[in-house]
Structure 1
Amino acid sequence: MMKNSLKNRLFHYAGTTVLILLVSCSKFDAYLDKAESGGMTEEEVFSNYRQTERFLAQVYGTGLTIDWVGGNLWSFSYDGATDNGYCHYRYWPSPKFVYDGNLTPANNPIDQWADLYAAIRRVNMFLEKIDGLPVSSSNTEEVAGKSRMKGEAFFLRAWFYAELFKRYGGVPLISKVLQVDEDLNIPRATADEIIGFIVEDCDRAASLLPEEYSSKDLGRATAGAALALKSRMLLYAASPLHNPDNDRQKWERAAKAAQDVITMGIYQLHGSFKDVLHTRQSPEIIFQHTANYEDQLRNNLMPSQGGFSIVQPTQELVDAFEMTDGKLYNESDLYDPQQPYANRDPRLAMTVVYNLHPWRGFPIETFEGGLDGLNGSGDNYTRTGYYLAKTLDENGSLTPIWRPGSHFFVYIRYAEILLNYAEAKNESLESPDPSVYDAINQVRARTGVNMPPLPAGLNKADMRARIHNERRVELAFESHRFWDIRRWRIGEQVLKSVQGMRITRAGSEWNYERFPLENRYYKNMYDLFPIPQSEINRNSKLVQNPGYN
């Protein structure tokens, strides 16, 4: 059989309705280019175990993005586009465009439609070829590896469709490599159809993947990662955005999926909330990016430490951290307005740098006139009265000695699964049962946090409010709040404005004053992203999300 260069056949392998995917994949496809580049043909790659393994590794590398603050898009922060954070940078793509009324089908700087379909095309190609990969029955490593790689591919396809679903809801469902002579005008699948496909791929992946790897294979998807992704997406599907009639069976399925991860018995909470995002191996980490994102310090440290402080916590987030008696600040006798950060949930000090908060033994001055104060001269000084602590490794530094520290982006960790279970189980019942309390109290009782258990006798609505708040403080600046606001459909309530804290000193007396920082604009239509207008123009069967026409 004559070997044809994949470069000469790319137009027969379009994986979605857009041909611009071929441009977005150009660097990746150079690997399968038999021209002067010295690359390899499709047949050569998928007839060699090591080359096939390398192909799959590139699917990971090109398809998985870093969503932390100041990540792949350095001036964008998902939490900075919520009531958790404020980004003073107005450079493209600042979070401001998400809440200033300018999100349109032709203007969405964080759109990922083309990139995600490009990744799906690569996975579909892999899945079509993997069964034909020749391995010797006597080579147990390759026999097991072939099965494992197939499971990884199912997981990755589920992951990419999950990312599409979070953004757009129902999308065209493409499970094979399309040819250019096929009808590329493909309608959107329903939300239920997309979720069903994701669940099926997660189940396939879980059946083929190991529960854990040796250190040399850390970062690969595991059976637990597949089941955890299933848990997350069934929770999204059960939420008000996609379940307006509140079908309790959807909540029950989500609770069961989270329970399946819990009963695996291989995950537990990390001993340190402060360090869980800065370790390569932990029983809490279910799925994690393999790269150490060294720019995290530069992008988000305070100016006195050499950083740009791209995203800054808001007063609303600070207020969400309870007092040590388990009550909010405005309900607790422990709250002292002259010492507003005393007697707080320990996670506050591990998430937010507030006035005189020690950083590497140095007290950070966020008061007016302080070294990192509210009215500091320059773009990098706080506008909210706060700086970011979470996601920043305090063992790293920019000055006087540069040490990048450890910043491994965690996609899924066990605390999320416990909170997924608590939320889904609570919504499936008339009133919360002991298992709901147990799941959320495990998160609160983590070593070094030790927050009191929730009070007994909460009704369903009260428990819902506590779970929502627990997700907010536990998962702050891990990008969850952005999607939670949308799936809960609360954007119009919580994204009207944000506040900061102005701190002044007169002698030995401190004054703390909340002040309005920024008005924001949000409509429920923003709960789903607009489908890019370029895709609507190419595909006659695509229907735009409501409100964007």
Structure 2
Amino acid sequence: MKKYNIMKRYFNILLLLVVLASTYSCEDYLDQSPEDGLTSEQVFSDYFSTRGTLDRANRLIHNYVFNDSDWSSELNGMADDCQVSATRFPVHTVLNSGNWMDSNFREIGGMRSFNVNQEFNGNDIPIEIVGKAFIAIRAVNQVMKNIDLITEYPEGLGYTKVQLKNQLIGQAYFLRAFHYFQIIRRYGGFPIMDKVYDTTHDFNETRPTYLESTEFMVSDLDKAIELLPEQWNSQNLGRATKTSARALKAMSLLYAASPLMNPQLNPYGSNSKTYNIDLAKRAAQAGAEAINGLTAGGYEMFSMEDYTENWYSRNSGFPKEAIIQAPLSPNTDPNGSGRAGQGWFLAQFEGGWAVEGQPTQNAVDKFETISGYDINDPEAQTMGGYDPNNPYENRDPRFRRLIWVHGDDMYPDLPNPNPGAARTLNALPGGWHYNFENSRSKMFTGYYHRGKFKWPGCNKWHRSRGWFRMFPHIRVPQVYLDFAEAANEAYGPNGAVPGTSLTAVQAINVVRNRAEMPNVIAKYTADKETFKKRIYNERAVELFHEFHRWHDLRRWKLAQDVFAEGIWGADIKDVNGNIVYDKKIIQGAQRIFEHKHYWYPFPTDVMNIMTKFEQNPGW
């Protein structure tokens, strides 16, 4: 009995942890909470108070680039496309230690990471996305339980009372699904969280499968699609729409169709990577519905000229590609007080704090030639315009928009030699940047981030302010990429999905054409397995450094294969006056990843007490 009481107390902390409601966007909500000694009738009788409670769950959508102290902005340092430079505390060293189960470090410690003073990201270590998910679901379920208590609806908002109520319910279903997805995509099947739990609830229950958890989430999203508007008025920009719910539904079904989530098809420890075709069909259909709703929702892709408007802008902080977006950062909006020119996301030489992430050669090699050839394809040199002696030219335009390479003049408006050799990237042994990184016992890939999450002039010389800084969780291109992956598995590269004439190949070409890239070369679309490699590659390029790669490698069951190939950097040398380009393994950057690491483990103190709930395999 004593152990069971401990278990209940643990889950009470996990599920009932609540602090004051906060604000969302530029609107003022009542800072009231049902945990402040107020009765439900007092809190939920008023529309604005109810909406304030619900908007707490909006605020808890994690912003990976919230401020200059947020190490989460280098989450992709867990994958293969970015490498945290510091040797003292990059995230992969914690992963390599094997101490996942009882860690409270960053991403893998989310189940134990609860700090009520950091709920909305302060200037110290913020609460992680899974910790936020539990708090958000609690808030949402409070609203859903008490929604019928509202008696006071405002006038003058442009909506009827029925519409206002339906909007709240629709947002609640969406937000519960979004936050629940953050839990199950990391930990697997998890108890259905559809009520406000009290101290009498028996949490010692049988664990649902991932697919059962997905069905609960999809049912919430179907209800959200029914109740949410296609678009909001100008006072409610950034809120979830029908398209937001459709896109999340497509993404969640694609995950459910993926190899990792189907152990009956791909047993633990095996190398099989089979998709669930029935779920792939549903994911493709959901993706088609999301694509069909883009225009009505007001969503569209930027031109390449305005590509980076997705992540930083002088204009409104709600880019037209962002279907689901984290709340704006108060540290870097035009009226904020954020510190430009310092932080974890900057290179140390330009004002950063020693642990910046750098693009890897693994990532660079995924950008095709401008004519659409994989640079490892033998025809890339004979027909594709790839020159290994000049490897950074004639490549996918996204490459040079997002990554600085050897020889780039990174600050052309600054005097030379002041800031001196720092201005032109020199990755040669003995070169300024090479020496700078190595003199600080850091790992150097030969590349620096340029275009995502770091706005122009964010360095110690310019200290440029006045930028909105955004983190979209789902952008328009991802909807096409999700659709293409599901459609390819279910219907092949060129098979039409019921309800749309769009094929997997055509969907990928929409994303490529926006990037001023040609259609996928015909030989790469010969069959499902061949085309799947291009789909995976296109995701790595278009979603580069957006923190999808780590979860993609897991759900595809490719993490072991990819990490076994190593983490690579540029190896550039001057040989008798000629620059020779090659690549090399980055010492100290290896990733240790076993079969058990495909799922995050539940903490030991939980598993020692629970008798019915099953731990993830291998832990």
Contact 2:372/2:517, CA 8 A, preserved across alignment: no
Q: Which moved further from structure 2: 80-89 or 529-538?
A: 529-538
State yes or no: 1:423 paired with 2:485.
yes
Contact 2:47/2:154, CA 8 A, preserved across alignment: no
User: 1:416 aligns to what SS in structure 2?
Assistant: helix
Q: Quickly say closer, same or farther: Cα 1:512–1:92, change in 2 above 3 A.
A: closer
Contact 1:289/1:411, CA 8 A, preserved across alignment: yes
Deviation at 1:70, TM superposition (A): 8.2
Match in the other structure for 1:95? 92
State yes or no: 1:359 paired with 2:410.
yes
Match in the other structure for 2:573? 504
Q: Quickly say closer, same or farther: Cα 1:53–1:65, change in 2 above 3 A.
A: same
State yes or no: 1:104 paired with 2:97.
no
Q: Quickly say closer, same or farther: Cα 1:204–1:169, change in 2 above 3 A.
A: same
Match in the other structure for 2:141? 124
Contact 1:17/1:186, CA 8 A, preserved across alignment: no
Q: Which of residues 278, 288, 313 in structure 2 aligns to 1:259?
A: 288
Matches within 5 A, 1:219-298: 219-244=238-263, 245=265, 246-266=275-295, 267-272=299-304, 273-279=307-313, 280-292=317-329, 294=332, 298=343
How far does the alpha carbon of each residue in 1:8-31 deviate from its partner, in whole angstroms, 9 at most, with x for none?
Answer: xxxxxx999612237843455994
Match in the other structure for 1:371? 432
Q: Which moved further from structure 2: 17-26 or 539-548?
A: 17-26
Give, in whole Å, the separation in 1 of the partners of 2:56 and 2:376: 51
User: 2:365 aligns to what SS in structure 1?
Assistant: helix
Q: Quickly say closer, same or farther: Cα 1:233–1:472, change in 2 above 3 A.
A: same
Match in the other structure for 1:53? 51
Deviation at 1:350, TM superposition (A): 1.8
Q: Which residue identity does 2:13 align to in structure 1?
A: I
Q: Quickly say closer, same or farther: Cα 1:450–1:227, change in 2 above 3 A.
A: same
Give, in whole Å, the separation in 2 of the partners of 1:28 and 1:288: 20
Q: Which of residues 8, 11, 14 in structure 2 aligns to 1:21?
A: 14
Q: Quickly say closer, same or farther: Cα 1:150–1:33, change in 2 above 3 A.
A: closer
Q: Which of residues 386, 391, 395 in structure 1 aligns to 2:456?
A: 395
Give, in whole Å, the separation in 1 of the partners of 2:429 and 2:406: 10
Q: Which moved further from structure 2: 303-312 or 165-174?
A: 303-312
Q: Quickly say closer, same or farther: Cα 1:59–1:247, change in 2 above 3 A.
A: closer
Q: How many residues align?
A: 529
State yes or no: 1:301 paired with 2:346.
yes
How far does the alpha carbon of each residue in 1:43-64 deviate from its partner, in whole angstroms, 9 at most, with x for none?
Answer: 3211111111211122222x21
Q: Which residue identity does 1:359 align to in structure 2?
A: M
Matches within 5 A, 1:67-86: 67=64, 73-74=70-71, 77-86=74-83
Matches within 5 A, 1:490-529: 490-496=558-564, 497-505=566-574, 508-517=577-586, 518-529=589-600
Matches within 5 A, 1:466-481: 466-481=534-549
Q: Quickly say closer, same or farther: Cα 1:336–1:16, change in 2 above 3 A.
A: farther
How far does the alpha carbon of each residue in 1:370-399 deviate from its partner, in whole angstroms, 9 at most, with x for none?
Answer: 333365355496611111123234434233
Matches within 5 A, 1:448-487: 448-455=515-522, 457-487=525-555
Give, in whole Å, the separation in 1 of the partners of 2:68 and 2:599: 22
Give, in whole Å, the separation in 2 of the partners of 1:24 and 1:34: 9
Contact 2:174/2:220, CA 8 A, preserved across alignment: yes
Match in the other structure for 2:418? none
Q: Which residue identity does 2:584 align to in structure 1?
A: F
Contact 2:238/2:318, CA 8 A, preserved across alignment: no
Q: Which residue identity does 1:183 align to in structure 2?
A: D
State yes or no: 1:196 paired with 2:215.
yes
Give, in whole Å, the separation in 2 of the partners of 1:240 and 1:176: 31
Contact 1:81/1:96, CA 8 A, preserved across alignment: no
User: 2:181 aligns to what SS in structure 1?
Assistant: helix
Give, in whole Å, the separation in 2 of the partners of 1:22 and 1:199: 22
Match in the other structure for 2:198? 179
User: 2:283 aligns to what SS in structure 1?
Assistant: helix
Give, in whole Å, the separation in 2 of the partners of 1:472 and 1:218: 29
Q: Which residue identity does 2:485 align to in structure 1?
A: E
Q: Which residue identity does 2:71 align to in structure 1?
A: W
Deviation at 1:274, TM superposition (A): 3.2
Contact 1:396/1:402, CA 8 A, preserved across alignment: yes
Q: Which residue identity does 1:260 align to in structure 2?
A: E
Deviation at 1:539, TM superposition (A): 3.2
Q: Quickly say closer, same or farther: Cα 1:526–1:32, change in 2 above 3 A.
A: same
Q: Which residue identity does 1:87 align to in structure 2?
A: V
Match in the other structure for 2:499? none
Q: Which runs of 5+ in 2 are unaligned?
A: 1-6, 23-30, 113-130, 266-274, 333-338, 413-422, 497-502
Contact 2:15/2:134, CA 8 A, preserved across alignment: no
State yes or no: 1:544 paired with 2:615.
yes
Give, in whole Å, the separation in 2 of the partners of 1:257 and 1:296: 41
Deviation at 1:72, TM superposition (A): 7.4
User: 2:504 aligns to what SS in structure 1?
Assistant: helix
State yes or no: 1:488 paired with 2:556.
yes
Give, in whole Å, the separation in 2 of the partners of 1:336 and 1:470: 21
Q: Which residue identity does 1:271 align to in structure 2?
A: S
Give, in whole Å, the separation in 2 of the partners of 1:22 and 1:136: 30
State yes or no: 1:347 paired with 2:406.
no
Q: Which of residues 42, 61, 73 in structure 2 aligns to 1:44?
A: 42
Q: Quickly say closer, same or farther: Cα 1:233–1:296, change in 2 above 3 A.
A: farther
Q: Which residue identity does 1:451 align to in structure 2?
A: P
Deviation at 1:175, TM superposition (A): 0.9
Q: Quickly say closer, same or farther: Cα 1:141–1:515, change in 2 above 3 A.
A: same
TM-score, with normalisation over the residues of structure 2? 0.79
Match in the other structure for 1:10? none
How far does the alpha carbon of each residue in 1:319-353 deviate from its partner, in whole angstroms, 9 at most, with x for none?
Answer: 11111121122321122222110111111112221
Q: Which residue identity does 2:320 align to in structure 1?
A: P
Q: Which residue identity does 1:311 align to in structure 2?
A: G
User: 1:495 aligns to what SS in structure 2?
Assistant: helix
User: 1:372 aligns to what SS in structure 2?
Assistant: helix
Give, in whole Å, the separation in 2 of the partners of 1:498 and 1:43: 57
Contact 1:34/1:40, CA 8 A, preserved across alignment: yes
User: 2:545 aligns to what SS in structure 1?
Assistant: coil
Q: Which moved further from structure 2: 512-521 or 272-281?
A: 272-281
Match in the other structure for 1:146? 165
Contact 1:15/1:177, CA 8 A, preserved across alignment: no
Contact 1:289/1:410, CA 8 A, preserved across alignment: yes
Give, in whole Å, the separation in 2 of the partners of 1:538 and 1:20: 15
Match in the other structure for 1:444? 512
Q: Quickly say closer, same or farther: Cα 1:17–1:425, change in 2 above 3 A.
A: farther
Q: Quickly say closer, same or farther: Cα 1:289–1:378, change in 2 above 3 A.
A: farther
Contact 1:70/1:310, CA 8 A, preserved across alignment: no
User: 1:312 aligns to what SS in structure 2?
Assistant: strand
Give, in whole Å, the separation in 2 of the partners of 1:454 and 1:16: 58
Q: Which moved further from structure 2: 88-97 or 146-155?
A: 88-97
User: 2:583 aligns to what SS in structure 1?
Assistant: strand
Contact 1:81/1:482, CA 8 A, preserved across alignment: yes
Q: Which runs of 5+ in 1 are unaligned?
A: 1-13
Give, in whole Å, the separation in 2 of the partners of 1:232 and 1:296: 34
